[in-house]
């Protein structure tokens, strides 16, 4: 009977064990979060994570393929097995660790505000100051300083981000928060004067501010936030329990750190 079954269904046990490594690892990325990831006019994906992801996979001897996925669908899509990994500027947070796993981080991230250079928020004080939200006292100090200035202002964030979570935790009631499906939409609304500020990761904000059509958008030198609810670095997101895939990708990340590839790509895409 086993023989007949295996002829009909293929070898018993051919179905991938839950923690086995997929033959092709499908990696989801938004393709709209430059310089991490973006879509070129010809429709192909490019950016820091696309190049780095290929290098990580090559070193881990994995066959990988990037697929585009809206940001607010990356976690549901991962858990529905539409793809096997997420590489989309996604920060490791305690809230996310309840529903996904992460590889080792391959990039740090810090967050700040973009505003109109001629607007009322262009002179937010605390220039250059950095705050770790991991330290409640420090977080409180930063918030006490910015809260009165932001009172009644309209601030844009991308949906399902650490930035939306930050606003919800610390500034609800003080400001009007608008959540956007894509960062491009909040960028355009700031430029059009429909927002007083954007709260987002520094690198994408700086990439926007460098575009000629965003000549009036400036990224404030301070305050800068990281840690606490803003997490601890950017990593690949994986389904829980995919221990073998995680181990292979972590090896790949170790290798691109050790041989200088990560540093080289970081300089190329982030100038840092």
Pure H helices in the chain: 2-9, 48-59, 74-79, 94-97, 136-150, 162-166, 183-191, 202-209, 243-258, 261-270
Q: Does 217 bind ligand ARG (CB under 6 A)?
A: no
To the nearest whole angstrom, how small is the minimum distance from the Cβ of residue 64 to ligand ARG? 18
d(CA 122, CA 203) in angstroms, rounded, equals 19
Question: Which range touches ligand ARG (CB under 6 A), out of 62-70, 86-94, 213-221, 264-272?
Answer: 86-94
The whole-angstrom separation of Cα 76 and Cα 82 is: 9
- Distance in Å from the first CA to the final CA of the chain: 62
Of the candidate residues 35, 50, 87, 88, the single one contacting ligand ARG (CB under 6 A): 88
Q: Which residues face 25 on adjacent strands?
A: 64
Q: Which is nearer to ligand ARG, 15 or 97 (CB)?
A: 97
In this chain, which of 91, 107, 174, 217 binds ligand ARG, going by CB under 6 A?
91
Q: Which of 27, 56, 100, 162 binds ligand ARG (CB under 6 A)?
A: 162
Examine residue 225 and tell whether it contacts ligand ARG (CB under 6 A).
no
The 92-131 site mask, x for binding ligand ARG (CB under 6 A), equals: -----------------x----------------------
CB of 147 to ligand ARG, least distance (A): 22
Span interacting with ligand ARG, options 7-15, 124-132, 140-148, 154-162, rule CB under 6 A: 154-162
- Provide the H-helix boundaries in 26-110: 48-59, 74-79, 94-97
201 binds ligand ARG (CB under 6 A): yes
User: Of 52-60, 83-91, 133-141, 219-227, which part binds ligand ARG (CB under 6 A)?
Assistant: 83-91
Q: Is 208 in the site for ligand ARG (CB under 6 A)?
A: no
**Closer to ligand ARG by Cβ: residue 71 or 106:** 71
- Map the footprint of ligand ARG across residues 56-75, applying CB under 6 A: 71
Rounded CA-CA distance 76/73 in Å is: 5
Distance CA 31, CA 147 (A): 33
The C-alpha angle 48, 54, 56, rounded to 5 degrees, equals 95
Give Cβ neighbours of residue 28 (< 8 Å, ≥ 6 apart). Answer: 66, 67, 68, 69, 74, 77, 78, 82, 83, 85, 86, 87, 88
Counting contacts by CB under 6 A, is residue 219 touching ligand ARG? Answer: no
- Which tokens in the block code for residue 26? 């499908």
Residues that bind ligand ARG (CB under 6 A): 30, 33, 71, 88-91, 109, 158, 161-162, 183, 201
């Amino acid at each position: 009977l086993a023989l007949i079954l295996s002829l009909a269904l293929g070898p018993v046990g051919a179905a991938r064990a839950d923690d086995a490594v997929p033959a092709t690892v499908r990696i989801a990325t938004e393709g709209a979060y430059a310089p991490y990831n973006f879509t070129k006019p010809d429709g192909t994906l490019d950016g820091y994570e696309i190049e780095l992801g290929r290098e990580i996979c090559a070193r881990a001897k994995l066959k990988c393929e990037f697929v585009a996925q809206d940001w607010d669908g990356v976690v549901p899509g991962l858990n529905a097995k539409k793809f096997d990994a997420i590489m989309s500027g996604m920060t490791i947070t305690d809230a996310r660790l309840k529903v996904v796993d992460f590889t080792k981080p391959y990039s740090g991230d810090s967050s700040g505000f973009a505003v109109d250079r001629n607007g009322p928020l262009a002179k937010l004080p605390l220039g250059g100051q950095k705050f770790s939200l991991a330290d409640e006292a420090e977080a409180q100090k930063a918030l006490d300083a910015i809260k009165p200035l932001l009172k009644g202002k309209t601030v844009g964030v991308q949906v399902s981000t650490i930035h939306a979570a930050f606003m919800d935790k610390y500034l609800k009631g003080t400001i009007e928060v608008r959540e956007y499906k894509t960062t491009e939409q909040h960028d355009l609304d700031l430029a059009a004067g429909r927002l007083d500020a954007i709260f987002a990761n520094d690198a994408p904000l700086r990439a926007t501010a460098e575009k000629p059509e965003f000549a009036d958008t400036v990224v404030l030198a301070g305050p800068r936030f990281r840690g606490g609810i803003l997490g601890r670095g950017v990593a690949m997101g994986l389904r829980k329990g995919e221990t073998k895939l995680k181990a292979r990708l972590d090896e790949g990340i170790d290798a691109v750190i050790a041989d200088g590839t990560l540093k080289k790509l970081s300089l190329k895409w982030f100038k840092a």
